[in-house]
Structure 1
């Protein structure tokens, strides 16, 4: 099964916050043994990023609880507290690296070199080591020595320049996404890079150095928006909930709330027009093709904002389903986790921690076909160091 694909692979995780831990959680979900090295007495910064916290029972020995943020990206790992800035601590990490297949770190450029924990030093000890460095700007260049967080790169990479209400509309201005999308995407790119390096090692016997930068990911994340700019020379503008390349593809208000209309081709648009009682638009040269609809979007939007409030959401969505018109709801978190398809896909999983009890988590989408299985919970700080007498 896929959840055991990396069985026998040992990962030494020196990363913290989100991008690195998201990568190493993926590796743990795929069966790798992940040892998370944390700062003694403090641990990963996200242990304190709350509320909310999953609290330990009163009087539990050595347990301070877990923040929900920490829970989201650290399941299935073992925690050991080691101060790499001391000679003894650095020696411990070198010994762990000698036995590891993968090392993941996200310190500023040059930090670990000062303690003999850089790739060149560890490669001499373990030529098969896949060493992944995640930084804000990469290992070289004029900004390589600068730190950076997800929010910075959402702005610097261009995402916020076209995200938000259009200029001239109420609330106009740059807007970040509601989740750290650059960190998360960096974690996914990093996961792919590690898996590719392990596959290459299988053929060559040699490890690899991987340099993953949040700036690179933020620029790549622009996807079609970047391609639109490179082809046309025109910078994308903020357009609220509208799609830059498809129309109508945005949020509309019905009589009792909102829904997403997602028309991806001319046939779907014709079906929508029949449902909406606007059949004439399907043959109107201003709207019959996607390119024409994009060119005439303000006029089309005005027509649709007038027709949608004439029915409630249930009426619209029943008609859309019957006609094969793509649409979607806008759910609250409560509605997300109450949804029957979410339940069917078993997206909420639980782990039992010996001290904290039930720990709820979201299952890894890569493992959707493997059925429900027992998960290892996120660790308490130095939980496995204490357990092993460290």
Structure 2
């Protein structure tokens, strides 16, 4: 686990976030805040976040509530168990909200209203509260989508946000992006929105509602589709592993896998051809300019591929690395051994109670004065209930009442 000086840890160490999120989109947002020092209090139902039981688990994991999934996105947080369907649970949450900078949730539309814990109710408790929400199609406060009440997961957002329509090997095969970007990208937007709203609240003295629709976030990620359709009057389709406007710019075969090459500029193209012993391509009029290379990209892609497939990834890296935009396609077994990721502390071990540590991805935002990082494992279910509720001002009787109300559900 990273060893960070607590006196300088985290630019957000003065923030207190109440986290009602589950699964991936919301927890990813609060993970980003926690990684930079915010105190994130994860309020879970008695059965816990659904991702706790999702695993995967290793055969020797004694604690079956801290699988790889939950350890990755639950790090740096505290866990409080409350049954928000009980009066005691609601009262405890309201106590937590009184001194919070933000509350975030990703329930379906109307859930918090039915619990009597809507934004308007909580705003009355704490006028400076920033209320952040992720839903598949947003909240009616920002615009009533006809799909407001539809449930949504990652693949829904990828499909309806446009990215699948331009991803895939050919026009007949729309393809889902591997990682759950339909959850992760909305989570990143929510983290940014919450921080922007907290900044405004400290100036204006009052909070606001931050509304992220998963499909909106994916459309924003896929911004090129919008201007292509507007400027060129085209409907973009999957381009495979190459680019419609640049060449060479894409994935090329190697003897033992694949590499990426982005040498569309004249100077890069000259270096590429010389390093691949393909100077004949420099004399070919079809490839004499950036525009002509795009026009003849199918022929050029095959010509370059015929050279790269003769060499190993390492050989191509020795020839091209540092000379032109180049990178081998790396799987995780290669990534964990790569000197870059080791030097950048991007592969981190976290404690796994009763077993050997679990390895998770590190923090990509590097800050010189207030560095963030992975400073603690994900919490056990309810591990911090007593301490967090005591900090919120509840006495022992009130804390015990909230705990007993939550336990009664089981």
Q: Same fold (TM over 0.5)?
A: yes
8 Å CA contact 1:345–1:368 kept in 2: the answer is no
1:23 aligns with 2:22: no
| Distance apart, 1:359 and its partner CA | 4.1
**Aligned position for 1:316:** 316
Once residues 276 and 123 of structure 2 are traced to their aligned partners in structure 1, the CA distance between those partners, rounded to angstroms, is 65
Cα distance, 1:90–1:356 mapped onto 2, change above 3 Å: farther
1:301 aligns with 2:301: yes
| Distance apart, 1:276 and its partner CA | 2.5
Does 305-314 or 21-30 show the bigger shift?
Answer: 305-314
User: Larger RCO: Structure 1 or Structure 2 (Cα < 8 Å, ≥ 6 residues apart)?
Assistant: 2
Cα distance, 1:367–1:308 mapped onto 2, change above 3 Å: closer
Does 359-368 or 67-76 show the bigger shift?
Answer: 359-368
Once residues 134 and 13 of structure 2 are traced to their aligned partners in structure 1, the CA distance between those partners, rounded to angstroms, is 24
1:7 aligns with 2:13: yes
Any unmatched runs of 5+ in structure 2? 1-6, 389-399, 404-410
1:152 aligns with 2:156: yes
Cα distance, 1:292–1:341 mapped onto 2, change above 3 Å: same
| Distance apart, 1:77 and its partner CA | 0.9
SS for the counterpart of 1:120 is: helix
Any unmatched runs of 5+ in structure 1? 58-62
Query: After TM superposition, what 4+ stretches of structure 1 lie above 4 angstroms from structure 2?
Result: 53-56, 353-357, 368-374, 386-389
| Distance apart, 1:368 and its partner CA | 6.0
8 Å CA contact 1:112–1:118 kept in 2: the answer is yes
**Aligned position for 1:261:** 261
Once residues 261 and 250 of structure 2 are traced to their aligned partners in structure 1, the CA distance between those partners, rounded to angstroms, is 6
Deviations 1:22-56 (A, max 9, x none): 1111111111111111110x211111222235865
**Aligned position for 1:207:** 207
8 Å CA contact 1:53–1:66 kept in 2: the answer is no
| Distance apart, 1:253 and its partner CA | 1.7
TM-score calculated relative to the size of structure 2: 0.86
SS for the counterpart of 1:185 is: helix
In the TM superposition, what are the counterparts of 1:245-260 in structure 2 within 5 Å? 245-260=245-260
8 Å CA contact 1:260–1:327 kept in 2: the answer is yes
Once residues 332 and 102 of structure 2 are traced to their aligned partners in structure 1, the CA distance between those partners, rounded to angstroms, is 35
**Aligned position for 1:60:** none
| Distance apart, 1:371 and its partner CA | 6.6
Cα distance, 1:158–1:81 mapped onto 2, change above 3 Å: same
1:75 aligns with 2:79: no
Cα distance, 1:358–1:213 mapped onto 2, change above 3 Å: same
| Distance apart, 1:237 and its partner CA | 1.7
Cα distance, 1:373–1:99 mapped onto 2, change above 3 Å: closer
1:32 aligns with 2:38: yes
1:382 aligns with 2:382: yes
1:331 aligns with 2:330: yes
Alignment length (residue pairs): 379
8 Å CA contact 1:48–1:67 kept in 2: the answer is yes
**Aligned position for 1:344:** 343
Cα distance, 1:343–1:259 mapped onto 2, change above 3 Å: same
Deviations 1:334-364 (A, max 9, x none): 1100111111111122334666663433221
Once residues 310 and 38 of structure 1 are traced to their aligned partners in structure 2, the CA distance between those partners, rounded to angstroms, is 55
**Aligned mate of 1:46, from 43, 51, 54:** 51
8 Å CA contact 1:55–1:66 kept in 2: the answer is no
Cα distance, 1:161–1:372 mapped onto 2, change above 3 Å: closer
1:162 aligns with 2:201: no
| Aligned Cα root-mean-square deviation (Å) | 2.3
Cα distance, 1:166–1:146 mapped onto 2, change above 3 Å: same
Once residues 374 and 136 of structure 2 are traced to their aligned partners in structure 1, the CA distance between those partners, rounded to angstroms, is 35
| Distance apart, 1:226 and its partner CA | 3.2
Once residues 385 and 127 of structure 1 are traced to their aligned partners in structure 2, the CA distance between those partners, rounded to angstroms, is 25
8 Å CA contact 1:54–1:67 kept in 2: the answer is no
8 Å CA contact 1:54–1:356 kept in 2: the answer is no
